[in-house]
Amino acid sequence: MTAATASLNRNDLGWYLYGVAAADEASASTSLAEGVAEAVELVAEGPLVGVASRVSLAEFDETTLPERLRDAVWLEQNIRAHEQVLERVLEDVSVLPCRFCTVYRNEAELRRFLAERRDVLQAALDRVHGMVEVGVKAFIDRDRFAAGRAKHNDVIRQLESQVSAAEGGRGYMERRRLEQLVASELEGFRGEAAGRIHTRLVAVAEDGLPLALQPPELSRREEEMVFNGAYLVPAERGNFEAELASLAEDLRDQGIDLELTGPWPAYNFVPEELGAEWT
């Protein structure tokens, strides 16, 4: 929810909400960093606190925000500030993260949200208490995949031998046949691998869900991404990471590498009015 006004001046300040925590946990121990604008504060309302800071309503107004969101420098700076605040809070207490650019016109509106949604927010906090979110991405190396498939596929193994022995135009045709066969095998394997990864990991997590696959410019990997998932796990993560290591070992010869990210606040496991999908 972003602030909207008929007329704003530069001195109008609203409250930027990063997340929600339990008042009895956060008030005594939480260390807070600088946020999107001014220093971060805890706004207590009953059993809940809003982790918030004052921001210019002119900067975050609905009419001007779309333009700012197209400013790559502004966007990167403020997303990082948003994440840093939540990560600092998570070091001390469980927190429900809000979507980026959640702004209230004044303290009364922020308190009203915390009061009116108290039961939903409290239930969500209870769910993520002692939990963190981790991300798991799977990438496939085509050469290792082909080599692994060749161990169990007579046709691929035979074509590899023919490619090695053939020359000129015949060699080109044999390579094309091999590439097409590997591509066909890979097409079926993508879904199979994604299903296997998710089934094994969600079994040792509190919850989990697949996310959209990322292109190389976002994943920063040359290899093709075949799975992207988020999991809600205990903060100590021992059982989950042990299962992930076992899974990685099982999939390595098939060309799959697994990448673990986090821990993060539970971006993908919060009430709809707070959350958005983060990858």
Same domain, yes or no, for 77 and 137? no
Last-in-domain residue among 114, 129, 144: 129
Q: What is the tens place of the pLDDT at every residue in 85-119?
A: 999 899 889 999 998 989 999 999 999 999 999 99
Same domain, yes or no, for 143 and 234? yes
In whole angstroms, how far apart are CA 264 and each of 128, 140, 230? 12, 25, 10
Locate 51 and state its tokens.
Answer: 């982790």
Same domain, yes or no, for 117 and 34? yes
Peptide bond into 234 cis (omega under 30): no
Please give the pLDDT value at position 130.
Answer: 93
pTM, full prediction: 0.78
Last-in-domain residue among 129, 150, 170: 129
> 174 is in which domain, residue-wise?
133-264
32 assigned to some structural domain = yes
- For residue 53, the cross-strand partners are 16
115 assigned to some structural domain = yes
Same domain, yes or no, for 246 and 258? yes
Same domain, yes or no, for 116 and 140? no
Averaged pLDDT in 10-residue chunks for the chain of 279 residues: 42 88 77 65 94 88 82 88 90 91 92 94 94 96 72 57 56 64 73 93 97 90 93 95 96 92 93 55
Q: Are strands 256-264 and 224-234 parallel, antiparallel or unpaired?
A: unpaired
Same domain, yes or no, for 146 and 170? yes
8 assigned to some structural domain = no
Same domain, yes or no, for 73 and 164? no
Please give the pLDDT value at position 10.
Answer: 47
Last-in-domain residue among 129, 160, 177: 129
6 assigned to some structural domain = no
Same domain, yes or no, for 137 and 125? no
The rounded Cα 92 to chain-centroid distance in angstroms is: 21
Same domain, yes or no, for 80 and 168? no
Same domain, yes or no, for 91 and 203? no
Query: Which residue in 279, 138, 140, 139 sits closest to 218, CA to CA?
Result: 279
31 assigned to some structural domain = yes
5 assigned to some structural domain = no
Q: With contact defined as beta carbons under 8 Å apart, do 40 and 34 qualify?
A: yes
Please give the pLDDT value at position 6.
Answer: 37
Rounded-to-integer distance, Cα 85 and Cα 269, Å: 18
Same domain, yes or no, for 19 and 121? yes
278 assigned to some structural domain = no
For 47-73, the three-class secondary structure string (H helix, E strand, C coil) is CEEEEEEEEEHHHHCCCCHHHHHCCHH
- For residue 210, the cross-strand partners are 229
Q: With contact defined as beta carbons under 8 Å apart, do 96 and 47 qualify?
A: no
Helix (H, G, I), strand (E, B) or coil at 7: coil
- Helix axes 168-202 and 238-252, enclosed angle (nearest 10): 160
279 assigned to some structural domain = no
The rounded Cα 162 to chain-centroid distance in angstroms is: 45
How many domains is the chain partitioned into structurally?
Answer: 2
Same domain, yes or no, for 180 and 241? yes
Q: Give start and end residues of each alpha helix (H) in the chain.
A: 23-29, 57-60, 65-69, 72-90, 107-116, 118-128, 142-150, 154-165, 168-202, 216-219, 238-252
